[in-house]
Amino acid sequence: MRAPAELVLLGHPVAHSLSPRFQNAALRAAGIDAEYRALDVEPARFEEVVAGLARRRLAGNVTVPFKERMHDACDLLTPLARRVGAVNTFWVDDAGSLTGDNTDVGGFDFAVRSVLGAAPRDLTVGVIGAGGSAAAVLAAVETWPGATAHVFNRTAERARLLSERFGSIAQPVDDIGVIEGAQLVVNATTIGLHDDRMPLDVELLSPDAAVVDLVYRPGQTAFVRAHRRRGGRAVDGLPMLVEQGALAFERWFGRSPDRSVMWDALSEGSAAS
């Protein structure tokens, strides 16, 4: 595959994303003459924009609310992207085919290992949400020995349909109390992205439970802060974001980025803000 000279992040809204900051730092460190930028796409124009990017042989990432639509727009899908039903990383191959992959799965697995301090196994996982991010979570869970998941969504039908796709390890629940009793609780919604709302009452979680909030905000989300105040283990979406970005970099350029440079870029940006 010819290395892309320009990379884009497709989303709506997307101005809050930290991806351009750490991806451009990784590109500079690797000596790659390319630029990564965020592109806010109006939902009605998504397929039109993607077709234009494919003609120009651009590559990049996709964030909410387009991961499932990107899956449908691609000419080719990796087995993992097909399994998840969502694409967050794309490129154009040598034959001109728009190709989609999902590096969120690896990013989430990395985040869980970081918060647990060990390889996940024999866990009950409570998943809040039923979109593309929740599908990536379940795709990771089904690789963990002895793990099972309960899926809660405000639209019960979506939780049921997603759980059917991962029927060997997942089942839908109508009572969020089942989620509160899990050993690992995952917020796979956008709740808490713009304010201090929380997906559930943190006081109802076991202090021994681990929390992974896929949302990230400066100073961490209210959900993560509240659980940590109780002595619980919790991490926001930043480790997942950086790791999925590093895995995407590997897909685009065939080599690993300097992950320490990516993290340093975020630290420097926080200090400057």
State the catalytic residues.
67
Q: CB atoms < 10 A from the CB of 181, how many?
A: 15
Cβ–Cβ < 8 Å for 122, 147? yes
- Give the span between the Cα atoms of 46 and 268, in whole angstroms: 33
Q: Which of 63, 57, 82 is nearest to 6 (CA)?
A: 57
Preceding peptide of 65 cis, ω within 30°: yes
Long-range CB contacts (< 8 A, 24+ apart) of 94-98?
94/1, 94/2, 96/54, 96/57, 98/50, 98/54, 98/73, 98/74
Write out the two tokens for 242: 């950086």
Cβ–Cβ < 8 Å for 87, 59? no
Please give, one letter per residue, the 3-state secondary structure of 48-61.
Answer: HHHHHHHHCCCEEE
For every residue of 61-112, DSSP letters joined together read: EE-TT-HHHHHHH-SEE-HHHHHHT--SEEEE-TTS-EEEE--HHHHHHHHH
Write out the two tokens for 255: 């080599």
Type of residue at 152? F
